[in-house]
Amino acid sequence: MRHVGSAHTREDLNDLVLLAEEWIKDYSAQLSIFPDENPNKLLHLNHCIFLGVQYNFFYNQITALQDRIGLGNLPALLKDLVTIRIFEPASKLRSLELMEQYFGIHHNRKTYYKMAPGWIELKDEVESAVMSFAKKCCSLLKVWVIFPPGK
C-alpha cells in the first residue's frame, strides 16, 4: 500500500487514480486485469515542463546543402553562422545566441573573435565552390527548360 495524495476535486481524484495505477504497474508484480490499458502511455501535462523547441530539420537541411555545394570543409562556426543568418538575420554576436536558442549549438564569443579574421582567406575558396555548383546546376536547368524530360 502507498499513499499517493489527497484530492479536493473530481479532477484531482482522477489524476491521483492514474498516478496510483502507474505506481502499481511499475512497482508490483501484479498483472492488470485490463491488459490493453497502459497508464504509462498517458502524458500528465501538469507534471511536465516545456523546455523549448529546436529546429533540427532546418539545420540539417541547410548543412546538407552546404556540403552539396562544396562548403563542407569550412570551419563549423562559419557554417553555423551562415545557417542561423538564413534562419533569422541578426548581428554576428546575436547570431551566436540564436544558434544556441534555435539549434542547441553553443559557440564561444572568444572563439568567434579568434577565428573570424582568418575567414577572409577563405573568400576565393568559397566563391569557387559556389560558382562551380551554380554552373553545374544552371546548366542542368537550361537543358531541362529547353528540352523538358519526356519531350
Residue 3 lies in a domain: no
Answer yes or no: pTM beyond 0.75.
Answer: no
Same domain, 65 and 126: yes
Q: Of the ranges 25-29, 91-95, 133-137, which is most confident?
A: 91-95
pLDDT band at 136 (very low <50, low <70, confident <90, very high): confident
Q: Is 49 left (phi over 0), alpha (psi -120 to 50) or beta?
A: beta
If you write DSSP's letter for every residue of 98-126 in order, what string do you get? HHHHHH-----HHHHHHHGGGGGGGHHHH
Residue 134 lies in a domain: yes
- Nearest Cα neighbor of 111 from 100, 90, 96 is 96
pLDDT digits (tens, 9 = 90+) for 72-115: 999 999 999 999 999 999 999 999 999 999 999 999 999 999 99
Domain that holds residue 33: 10-47
pLDDT band at 27 (very low <50, low <70, confident <90, very high): confident
Same domain, 105 and 137: yes
pLDDT digits (tens, 9 = 90+) for 117-131: 999 999 999 999 999
Compute the distance between CA of residue 25 and CA of residue 29 in angstroms, rounded to an integer.
8
Residue 4 lies in a domain: no
Q: Number of folded domains in the chain?
A: 2
